[in-house]
Amino acid sequence: MPVHPIEFRYSYPEMYSIFTEESKLQSWLDVEVALAWAHSEVGSFSREIAEEIEKKANIRLVKVERVKEIEEKLTKHDLLAMVYALQEVCEKEAGGYIHLGATSYDIEDTALALQLKKALNLIEADLKELLHEFIIKAETHRTTVCIGRTHGQHALPMTYGMKFALWASEISRHLDRLAEIKKRVLVGKMNGAIGTMASFGEKGFEIQRITMERLGLEPVLISNQIIQRDRHAELLCLLALIAGTLDKVSLEFRNLQRTEIAEISELIRSPSSTMPQKLNPSNTERICGLARIIRGSVNASLDTIALEHERDISNSSMERINIPEDFILTDYILKQLTKISQGLSFDYDNIEKNLHMTYGLILTERIMLELTNKGIGRQKAHELMRRLALKSWNEKRHLKDIIEQDDDAMKLITKDELEVWLNPHTYIGTSIEQVDKVVSYLKKRL
Protein backbone atom coordinates (compact mmCIF):
# COMPACT_ATOMS: atom_id res chain seq x y z
CA MET A 1 0.00 0.00 0.00
CA PRO A 2 1.24 3.55 -0.73
CA VAL A 3 2.56 5.59 2.19
CA HIS A 4 3.63 8.95 0.78
CA PRO A 5 0.77 11.23 -0.41
CA ILE A 6 2.81 11.99 -3.53
CA GLU A 7 1.95 8.47 -4.67
CA PHE A 8 -1.80 9.00 -4.68
CA ARG A 9 -2.65 12.66 -4.00
CA TYR A 10 -0.07 15.33 -4.80
CA SER A 11 1.34 14.43 -8.21
CA TYR A 12 0.69 14.38 -11.93
CA PRO A 13 1.65 11.31 -13.95
CA GLU A 14 4.18 12.85 -16.36
CA MET A 15 6.48 14.26 -13.67
CA TYR A 16 5.93 11.29 -11.36
CA SER A 17 6.99 8.89 -14.10
CA ILE A 18 10.38 10.58 -14.46
CA PHE A 19 11.34 9.55 -10.94
CA THR A 20 9.98 6.03 -10.76
CA GLU A 21 12.40 3.17 -10.13
CA GLU A 22 11.83 2.01 -13.69
CA SER A 23 12.73 5.42 -15.11
CA LYS A 24 15.82 5.68 -12.94
CA LEU A 25 16.96 2.20 -13.98
CA GLN A 26 16.43 3.00 -17.65
CA SER A 27 18.49 6.18 -17.26
CA TRP A 28 21.33 4.12 -15.75
CA LEU A 29 21.11 1.70 -18.66
CA ASP A 30 21.13 4.57 -21.16
CA VAL A 31 24.37 5.87 -19.68
CA GLU A 32 25.93 2.40 -19.80
CA VAL A 33 24.99 2.20 -23.48
CA ALA A 34 26.53 5.60 -24.24
CA LEU A 35 29.70 4.55 -22.40
CA ALA A 36 29.86 1.30 -24.38
CA TRP A 37 29.61 3.17 -27.67
CA ALA A 38 32.32 5.60 -26.55
CA HIS A 39 34.60 2.65 -25.79
CA SER A 40 33.89 1.13 -29.17
CA GLU A 41 34.67 4.41 -30.94
CA VAL A 42 38.05 4.79 -29.24
CA GLY A 43 38.91 1.15 -29.90
CA SER A 44 38.53 -0.37 -26.43
CA PHE A 45 36.36 -3.12 -27.90
CA SER A 46 34.34 -3.91 -31.00
CA ARG A 47 31.21 -2.23 -32.32
CA GLU A 48 29.40 -5.57 -32.02
CA ILE A 49 29.86 -5.53 -28.25
CA ALA A 50 28.36 -2.01 -28.01
CA GLU A 51 25.46 -3.11 -30.21
CA GLU A 52 24.75 -6.10 -27.98
CA ILE A 53 24.84 -3.96 -24.83
CA GLU A 54 22.48 -1.43 -26.41
CA LYS A 55 20.14 -4.19 -27.58
CA LYS A 56 19.77 -5.60 -24.06
CA ALA A 57 19.93 -2.39 -21.99
CA ASN A 58 16.23 -1.81 -21.44
CA ILE A 59 13.86 -2.43 -18.57
CA ARG A 60 11.92 -5.05 -20.53
CA LEU A 61 14.92 -7.32 -20.15
CA VAL A 62 16.70 -5.81 -17.15
CA LYS A 63 13.85 -5.68 -14.68
CA VAL A 64 13.70 -3.68 -11.45
CA GLU A 65 12.73 -6.81 -9.53
CA ARG A 66 15.82 -8.68 -10.71
CA VAL A 67 18.11 -5.78 -9.87
CA LYS A 68 16.66 -5.65 -6.36
CA GLU A 69 17.08 -9.38 -5.95
CA ILE A 70 20.75 -9.22 -6.94
CA GLU A 71 21.31 -6.24 -4.65
CA GLU A 72 19.77 -8.02 -1.68
CA LYS A 73 21.40 -11.41 -2.20
CA LEU A 74 24.75 -10.51 -3.69
CA THR A 75 26.02 -6.96 -4.17
CA LYS A 76 24.44 -4.83 -1.43
CA HIS A 77 24.92 -2.08 -4.02
CA ASP A 78 22.12 -1.02 -6.35
CA LEU A 79 24.23 0.26 -9.26
CA LEU A 80 26.46 -2.80 -9.23
CA ALA A 81 23.35 -4.97 -9.14
CA MET A 82 22.20 -3.27 -12.35
CA VAL A 83 25.54 -4.10 -13.97
CA TYR A 84 25.14 -7.78 -13.01
CA ALA A 85 21.53 -7.86 -14.23
CA LEU A 86 22.51 -6.37 -17.58
CA GLN A 87 25.41 -8.80 -17.88
CA GLU A 88 23.00 -11.70 -17.36
CA VAL A 89 21.00 -10.85 -20.47
CA CYS A 90 23.92 -9.97 -22.75
CA GLU A 91 25.22 -12.68 -25.06
CA LYS A 92 28.78 -13.88 -25.63
CA GLU A 93 31.55 -11.67 -24.25
CA ALA A 94 29.56 -8.38 -24.27
CA GLY A 95 28.56 -8.66 -20.63
CA GLY A 96 32.18 -8.58 -19.57
CA TYR A 97 32.65 -5.07 -20.97
CA ILE A 98 29.72 -3.37 -19.26
CA HIS A 99 30.70 -0.46 -16.99
CA LEU A 100 34.32 -0.62 -18.19
CA GLY A 101 36.45 1.94 -16.32
CA ALA A 102 33.47 3.67 -14.72
CA THR A 103 32.67 4.33 -11.10
CA SER A 104 29.11 4.14 -9.82
CA TYR A 105 28.56 7.88 -9.81
CA ASP A 106 29.79 8.25 -13.37
CA ILE A 107 26.58 6.41 -14.14
CA GLU A 108 24.33 7.70 -11.37
CA ASP A 109 25.14 11.41 -11.62
CA THR A 110 24.98 11.38 -15.40
CA ALA A 111 21.70 9.46 -15.33
CA LEU A 112 20.34 11.93 -12.78
CA ALA A 113 21.12 14.74 -15.23
CA LEU A 114 19.04 12.93 -17.84
CA GLN A 115 16.12 12.81 -15.41
CA LEU A 116 16.61 16.46 -14.45
CA LYS A 117 16.58 17.47 -18.11
CA LYS A 118 13.12 15.97 -18.54
CA ALA A 119 11.92 17.36 -15.21
CA LEU A 120 13.16 20.89 -15.91
CA ASN A 121 11.46 20.85 -19.30
CA LEU A 122 8.17 20.06 -17.55
CA ILE A 123 8.70 22.80 -14.97
CA GLU A 124 9.49 25.23 -17.78
CA ALA A 125 6.27 24.30 -19.56
CA ASP A 126 4.33 24.69 -16.29
CA LEU A 127 5.81 28.14 -15.70
CA LYS A 128 4.95 29.26 -19.21
CA GLU A 129 1.37 28.04 -18.83
CA LEU A 130 0.98 29.92 -15.56
CA LEU A 131 2.65 32.99 -17.08
CA HIS A 132 0.18 32.85 -19.97
CA GLU A 133 -2.74 32.71 -17.52
CA PHE A 134 -1.44 35.63 -15.47
CA ILE A 135 -0.96 37.69 -18.64
CA ILE A 136 -4.57 36.99 -19.64
CA LYS A 137 -5.78 38.04 -16.21
CA ALA A 138 -3.60 41.17 -16.26
CA GLU A 139 -5.06 42.21 -19.61
CA THR A 140 -8.61 41.36 -18.62
CA HIS A 141 -8.39 43.34 -15.39
CA ARG A 142 -6.09 46.15 -16.47
CA THR A 143 -8.84 48.67 -15.59
CA THR A 144 -10.50 46.78 -12.70
CA VAL A 145 -9.90 49.27 -9.91
CA CYS A 146 -9.58 47.79 -6.43
CA ILE A 147 -8.18 48.76 -3.08
CA GLY A 148 -4.50 48.14 -2.50
CA ARG A 149 -3.46 47.06 0.96
CA THR A 150 -0.28 47.47 2.98
CA HIS A 151 0.21 46.03 6.48
CA GLY A 152 -3.25 44.49 6.05
CA GLN A 153 -4.79 47.99 5.88
CA HIS A 154 -6.49 49.86 3.06
CA ALA A 155 -3.86 51.99 1.33
CA LEU A 156 -4.50 53.40 -2.18
CA PRO A 157 -6.51 52.40 -5.26
CA MET A 158 -4.81 50.18 -7.82
CA THR A 159 -5.99 47.65 -10.39
CA TYR A 160 -6.27 43.90 -10.35
CA GLY A 161 -4.32 43.99 -13.57
CA MET A 162 -1.33 45.27 -11.60
CA LYS A 163 -1.52 42.35 -9.20
CA PHE A 164 -1.41 39.81 -12.01
CA ALA A 165 1.23 41.74 -13.96
CA LEU A 166 3.42 41.75 -10.85
CA TRP A 167 3.07 37.99 -10.44
CA ALA A 168 3.62 37.40 -14.15
CA SER A 169 6.84 39.38 -13.97
CA GLU A 170 8.02 37.20 -11.11
CA ILE A 171 7.22 34.02 -13.02
CA SER A 172 9.26 35.37 -15.94
CA ARG A 173 12.25 35.74 -13.64
CA HIS A 174 11.93 32.09 -12.66
CA LEU A 175 12.08 31.24 -16.36
CA ASP A 176 15.28 33.27 -16.59
CA ARG A 177 16.72 31.41 -13.62
CA LEU A 178 15.69 28.06 -15.05
CA ALA A 179 17.36 28.77 -18.39
CA GLU A 180 20.53 29.80 -16.59
CA ILE A 181 20.59 26.84 -14.23
CA LYS A 182 20.35 24.31 -17.05
CA LYS A 183 23.94 25.16 -17.99
CA ARG A 184 25.16 24.11 -14.56
CA VAL A 185 22.87 21.17 -13.84
CA LEU A 186 22.55 19.34 -17.15
CA VAL A 187 26.09 17.99 -17.06
CA GLY A 188 27.54 14.50 -16.85
CA LYS A 189 30.84 12.89 -15.99
CA MET A 190 32.84 9.85 -16.99
CA ASN A 191 36.15 10.12 -15.14
CA GLY A 192 36.46 7.21 -12.76
CA ALA A 193 36.75 6.58 -9.08
CA ILE A 194 38.09 9.93 -7.85
CA GLY A 195 37.98 11.94 -11.05
CA THR A 196 41.49 11.31 -12.40
CA MET A 197 40.31 9.24 -15.40
CA ALA A 198 43.10 6.78 -14.57
CA SER A 199 40.83 3.84 -15.40
CA PHE A 200 40.35 5.19 -18.92
CA GLY A 201 44.03 5.95 -19.54
CA GLU A 202 44.83 8.39 -22.32
CA LYS A 203 41.34 7.89 -23.76
CA GLY A 204 39.62 9.52 -20.77
CA PHE A 205 38.73 12.89 -22.22
CA GLU A 206 37.57 11.35 -25.49
CA ILE A 207 35.43 8.72 -23.75
CA GLN A 208 33.80 11.39 -21.60
CA ARG A 209 33.19 13.65 -24.61
CA ILE A 210 31.65 10.92 -26.76
CA THR A 211 29.50 9.61 -23.90
CA MET A 212 28.06 13.04 -23.15
CA GLU A 213 27.48 13.88 -26.81
CA ARG A 214 25.41 10.73 -27.21
CA LEU A 215 23.36 11.64 -24.13
CA GLY A 216 22.89 15.32 -25.03
CA LEU A 217 24.70 16.56 -21.92
CA GLU A 218 27.71 18.78 -21.37
CA PRO A 219 30.75 17.18 -19.69
CA VAL A 220 31.83 18.67 -16.38
CA LEU A 221 34.95 20.78 -16.47
CA ILE A 222 36.32 18.80 -13.51
CA SER A 223 34.96 16.61 -10.73
CA ASN A 224 36.07 14.13 -8.12
CA GLN A 225 34.02 10.98 -7.60
CA ILE A 226 30.80 12.96 -7.97
CA ILE A 227 29.47 16.02 -9.72
CA GLN A 228 29.78 18.76 -7.13
CA ARG A 229 26.64 19.38 -5.13
CA ASP A 230 26.58 23.17 -5.36
CA ARG A 231 24.83 22.52 -8.69
CA HIS A 232 22.06 20.44 -7.14
CA ALA A 233 21.70 22.80 -4.19
CA GLU A 234 21.17 25.68 -6.61
CA LEU A 235 18.56 23.61 -8.41
CA LEU A 236 16.56 22.97 -5.24
CA CYS A 237 16.89 26.65 -4.35
CA LEU A 238 15.25 27.45 -7.69
CA LEU A 239 12.35 25.12 -6.91
CA ALA A 240 12.06 26.76 -3.49
CA LEU A 241 11.91 30.21 -5.10
CA ILE A 242 9.17 29.05 -7.45
CA ALA A 243 7.29 27.57 -4.49
CA GLY A 244 7.70 30.88 -2.65
CA THR A 245 5.99 32.75 -5.47
CA LEU A 246 3.14 30.25 -5.63
CA ASP A 247 2.78 30.50 -1.86
CA LYS A 248 2.58 34.30 -2.13
CA VAL A 249 -0.05 34.27 -4.87
CA SER A 250 -2.09 31.58 -3.13
CA LEU A 251 -1.98 33.47 0.16
CA GLU A 252 -3.30 36.58 -1.61
CA PHE A 253 -6.07 34.53 -3.22
CA ARG A 254 -6.98 33.12 0.18
CA ASN A 255 -7.10 36.54 1.83
CA LEU A 256 -9.16 38.05 -0.96
CA GLN A 257 -11.73 35.28 -0.40
CA ARG A 258 -12.21 36.11 3.27
CA THR A 259 -15.86 36.68 4.16
CA GLU A 260 -15.24 40.31 5.06
CA ILE A 261 -13.37 40.94 1.76
CA ALA A 262 -14.94 38.48 -0.72
CA GLU A 263 -13.57 40.07 -3.88
CA ILE A 264 -12.65 36.83 -5.63
CA SER A 265 -13.62 33.18 -5.39
CA GLU A 266 -12.07 29.88 -6.42
CA LEU A 267 -14.22 27.86 -8.77
CA ILE A 268 -13.98 24.77 -6.55
CA ARG A 269 -13.95 25.11 -2.78
CA SER A 270 -14.29 22.50 -0.06
CA PRO A 271 -17.34 22.27 2.19
CA SER A 272 -17.13 22.02 5.94
CA SER A 273 -17.91 18.64 7.47
CA THR A 274 -20.15 20.27 10.07
CA MET A 275 -21.04 23.84 8.96
CA PRO A 276 -23.32 23.64 5.91
CA GLN A 277 -22.83 27.29 4.94
CA LYS A 278 -19.03 27.15 4.63
CA LEU A 279 -16.94 26.84 1.50
CA ASN A 280 -13.21 26.81 2.19
CA PRO A 281 -10.33 27.82 -0.13
CA SER A 282 -8.62 24.48 0.47
CA ASN A 283 -6.91 24.34 -2.92
CA THR A 284 -4.86 27.48 -2.33
CA GLU A 285 -4.27 26.42 1.27
CA ARG A 286 -2.86 23.14 -0.05
CA ILE A 287 -0.42 25.03 -2.27
CA CYS A 288 0.80 27.07 0.70
CA GLY A 289 1.32 23.91 2.72
CA LEU A 290 3.22 22.03 0.02
CA ALA A 291 5.38 25.09 -0.67
CA ARG A 292 6.69 24.75 2.89
CA ILE A 293 7.84 21.20 2.15
CA ILE A 294 9.71 22.33 -0.96
CA ARG A 295 11.39 25.26 0.81
CA GLY A 296 12.23 23.06 3.76
CA SER A 297 14.49 20.80 1.70
CA VAL A 298 16.90 23.60 0.80
CA ASN A 299 19.00 23.39 3.96
CA ALA A 300 19.55 19.66 3.57
CA SER A 301 20.66 20.20 -0.01
CA LEU A 302 23.06 22.96 0.99
CA ASP A 303 24.54 20.63 3.60
CA THR A 304 25.51 18.10 0.90
CA ILE A 305 27.93 20.56 -0.71
CA ALA A 306 30.47 19.77 2.00
CA LEU A 307 31.35 16.08 1.63
CA GLU A 308 34.46 14.41 3.02
CA HIS A 309 37.59 14.37 0.85
CA GLU A 310 36.76 13.15 -2.68
CA ARG A 311 33.24 12.24 -1.54
CA ASP A 312 31.18 10.38 1.00
CA ILE A 313 27.71 8.96 0.57
CA SER A 314 25.78 11.26 2.91
CA ASN A 315 24.27 13.13 -0.05
CA SER A 316 22.76 10.01 -1.57
CA SER A 317 19.99 9.19 0.89
CA MET A 318 18.82 12.80 1.06
CA GLU A 319 18.75 13.20 -2.72
CA ARG A 320 16.76 10.01 -3.22
CA ILE A 321 13.99 11.76 -1.27
CA ASN A 322 14.36 15.49 -1.86
CA ILE A 323 15.01 15.72 -5.59
CA PRO A 324 12.04 13.60 -6.73
CA GLU A 325 9.81 15.03 -4.02
CA ASP A 326 10.60 18.67 -4.81
CA PHE A 327 10.11 18.24 -8.55
CA ILE A 328 6.87 16.30 -8.19
CA LEU A 329 5.43 18.79 -5.70
CA THR A 330 6.58 21.86 -7.65
CA ASP A 331 4.99 20.49 -10.81
CA TYR A 332 1.83 19.73 -8.84
CA ILE A 333 1.39 23.18 -7.27
CA LEU A 334 2.24 24.95 -10.54
CA LYS A 335 -0.50 23.05 -12.33
CA GLN A 336 -2.88 23.54 -9.43
CA LEU A 337 -2.41 27.32 -9.33
CA THR A 338 -2.89 27.55 -13.09
CA LYS A 339 -6.22 25.73 -12.78
CA ILE A 340 -7.29 27.90 -9.85
CA SER A 341 -6.41 31.07 -11.75
CA GLN A 342 -8.32 29.90 -14.82
CA GLY A 343 -11.45 29.33 -12.73
CA LEU A 344 -11.18 32.46 -10.60
CA SER A 345 -14.32 34.62 -10.38
CA PHE A 346 -14.49 38.28 -9.36
CA ASP A 347 -17.22 39.92 -7.31
CA TYR A 348 -17.23 43.40 -8.82
CA ASP A 349 -19.85 44.70 -6.38
CA ASN A 350 -17.66 43.79 -3.42
CA ILE A 351 -14.56 45.15 -5.13
CA GLU A 352 -16.33 48.50 -5.52
CA LYS A 353 -17.82 48.36 -2.03
CA ASN A 354 -14.39 47.79 -0.49
CA LEU A 355 -13.02 50.79 -2.37
CA HIS A 356 -15.46 52.98 -0.43
CA MET A 357 -15.34 51.13 2.88
CA THR A 358 -13.14 53.66 4.66
CA TYR A 359 -15.23 56.80 4.00
CA GLY A 360 -12.95 58.13 1.28
CA LEU A 361 -9.84 58.05 3.47
CA ILE A 362 -7.87 56.19 0.81
CA LEU A 363 -7.77 59.48 -1.14
CA THR A 364 -6.16 61.61 1.59
CA GLU A 365 -2.74 61.33 -0.06
CA ARG A 366 -4.22 62.72 -3.27
CA ILE A 367 -5.82 65.67 -1.52
CA MET A 368 -2.61 66.36 0.41
CA LEU A 369 -0.64 66.48 -2.84
CA GLU A 370 -3.22 68.66 -4.56
CA LEU A 371 -3.06 71.09 -1.64
CA THR A 372 0.72 71.06 -1.85
CA ASN A 373 0.43 72.01 -5.52
CA LYS A 374 -1.62 74.97 -4.41
CA GLY A 375 1.39 76.17 -2.44
CA ILE A 376 0.52 75.51 1.21
CA GLY A 377 3.44 73.14 1.77
CA ARG A 378 3.49 69.37 2.04
CA GLN A 379 3.84 69.16 5.83
CA LYS A 380 1.01 71.59 6.46
CA ALA A 381 -1.22 69.75 3.99
CA HIS A 382 -0.33 66.43 5.64
CA GLU A 383 -1.19 67.78 9.09
CA LEU A 384 -4.54 69.12 7.87
CA MET A 385 -5.53 65.85 6.19
CA ARG A 386 -4.36 63.83 9.16
CA ARG A 387 -6.66 65.80 11.44
CA LEU A 388 -9.62 65.48 9.09
CA ALA A 389 -8.99 61.78 8.47
CA LEU A 390 -9.02 61.00 12.20
CA LYS A 391 -12.26 62.94 12.60
CA SER A 392 -13.83 61.05 9.68
CA TRP A 393 -12.79 57.68 11.08
CA ASN A 394 -13.80 58.40 14.67
CA GLU A 395 -17.21 59.74 13.66
CA LYS A 396 -17.75 57.11 10.95
CA ARG A 397 -18.59 59.85 8.47
CA HIS A 398 -17.43 60.27 4.89
CA LEU A 399 -14.35 62.42 4.41
CA LYS A 400 -16.25 64.60 1.93
CA ASP A 401 -18.70 65.68 4.61
CA ILE A 402 -15.91 66.32 7.11
CA ILE A 403 -13.95 68.48 4.66
CA GLU A 404 -16.99 70.45 3.53
CA GLN A 405 -17.74 71.32 7.16
CA ASP A 406 -14.17 72.41 7.92
CA ASP A 407 -13.53 76.11 7.38
CA ASP A 408 -9.75 75.77 7.07
CA ALA A 409 -10.11 73.12 4.39
CA MET A 410 -12.80 74.89 2.40
CA LYS A 411 -10.65 78.00 2.13
CA LEU A 412 -8.36 75.88 -0.03
CA ILE A 413 -10.68 73.44 -1.80
CA THR A 414 -13.74 73.87 -4.00
CA LYS A 415 -16.63 71.43 -3.97
CA ASP A 416 -16.01 70.57 -7.62
CA GLU A 417 -12.36 69.79 -6.89
CA LEU A 418 -13.35 67.65 -3.94
CA GLU A 419 -15.77 65.65 -6.08
CA VAL A 420 -12.96 64.80 -8.50
CA TRP A 421 -10.30 64.17 -5.89
CA LEU A 422 -12.48 61.71 -3.97
CA ASN A 423 -13.08 59.45 -7.00
CA PRO A 424 -10.84 56.37 -6.49
CA HIS A 425 -11.13 55.38 -10.14
CA THR A 426 -9.19 58.47 -11.16
CA TYR A 427 -6.28 57.99 -8.75
CA ILE A 428 -4.55 54.90 -10.07
CA GLY A 429 -1.50 56.64 -11.49
CA THR A 430 0.16 54.67 -14.28
CA SER A 431 -1.41 51.36 -13.26
CA ILE A 432 -2.89 50.70 -16.68
CA GLU A 433 0.24 51.79 -18.52
CA GLN A 434 2.40 49.59 -16.31
CA VAL A 435 0.19 46.58 -17.00
CA ASP A 436 0.35 47.23 -20.74
CA LYS A 437 4.13 47.56 -20.57
CA VAL A 438 4.54 44.29 -18.66
CA VAL A 439 2.11 42.40 -20.87
CA SER A 440 3.80 43.61 -24.06
CA TYR A 441 7.20 42.56 -22.75
CA LEU A 442 6.14 39.16 -21.38
CA LYS A 443 4.13 38.07 -24.40
CA LYS A 444 7.43 37.81 -26.23
CA ARG A 445 8.42 35.01 -23.84
CA LEU A 446 5.55 32.73 -24.77
Give the DSSP H/E element, type plus range, for residue 265: strand 264-265
pLDDT value for 279: 77
Select from 68, 55, 73 the least CA-distant residue to 21: 68
Give residue 346's identity as a one-letter amino acid code.
F
For residues 348-355, average pLDDT:
97
| Residue pLDDT, tens place only, 184-215 | 999 999 999 999 999 999 999 999 999 999 99
| Residue pLDDT, tens place only, 372-405 | 999 999 999 999 999 999 999 999 999 999 999 9
Select from 299, 300, 295 the least CA-distant residue to 320: 300
- pLDDT grade, residue 226 (50/70/90)? very high
With a CB cutoff of 8 Å and minimum separation 6, the contacts of 258 are none
**Using CA atoms, how far apart are residues 118 and 144, in angstroms rounded to an integer?**
39
pLDDT value for 446: 79
For residues 313-338, average pLDDT:
96
| Residue pLDDT, tens place only, 235-248 | 999 999 999 999 99
Averaged pLDDT of the chain: 95
Report the range of poorest mean pLDDT among 80-84, 116-120, 133-137, 410-414: 410-414
Domain chopping of the chain, boundaries = 110-188+221-351, 361-421
- Higher-pLDDT residue of 316 and 178 is 178
Instruction: Supply the DSSP string of 30-65, one letter for each residue.
Output: HHHHHHHHHHHHHTSS-HHHHHHHHHH-STTTS-HH
What pTM did the predictor assign?
0.94
**Using CA atoms, how far apart are residues 392 and 400, in angstroms rounded to an integer?**
9
Share of the chain above pLDDT 90, in %: 91
- pLDDT grade, residue 49 (50/70/90)? very high
> Does the structure show a pLDDT above 90 at 2?
no
The length of the chain, given as a count of residues:
446
Q: Among 3.40.50.300, 3.40.50.10280, 3.10.20.440, 1.10.40.30, what is the CATH number of 361-421?
A: 1.10.40.30
- pLDDT grade, residue 267 (50/70/90)? confident
pLDDT value for 383: 95
Alpha helices in 304-406 (DSSP H): 314-342, 348-355, 364-373, 378-395, 399-404
| Residue pLDDT, tens place only, 4-14 | 999 889 999 99
**Using CA atoms, how far apart are residues 278 and 261, in angstroms rounded to an integer?**
15
> Does the structure show a pLDDT above 80 at 269?
no
- pLDDT grade, residue 293 (50/70/90)? very high
pLDDT value for 282: 87
Q: Find the catalytic residue in 17, 77, 272, 314.
A: 272
For residues 172-183, average pLDDT:
97
Q: How many helices and strands in the chain, by DSSP H and E?
A: 19, 8
pLDDT value for 280: 84
pLDDT value for 3: 87
> Does the structure show a pLDDT above 80 at 352?
yes
pLDDT value for 369: 95
- pLDDT grade, residue 427 (50/70/90)? very high
Q: Among 1.25.40.80, 1.10.3210.10, 1.20.200.10, 3.40.50.300, what is the CATH number of 110-188+221-351?
A: 1.20.200.10
Based on the residue annotation, tell me whether 151 is a catalytic residue of this protein.
yes
pLDDT value for 84: 97
For residues 82-111, average pLDDT:
97
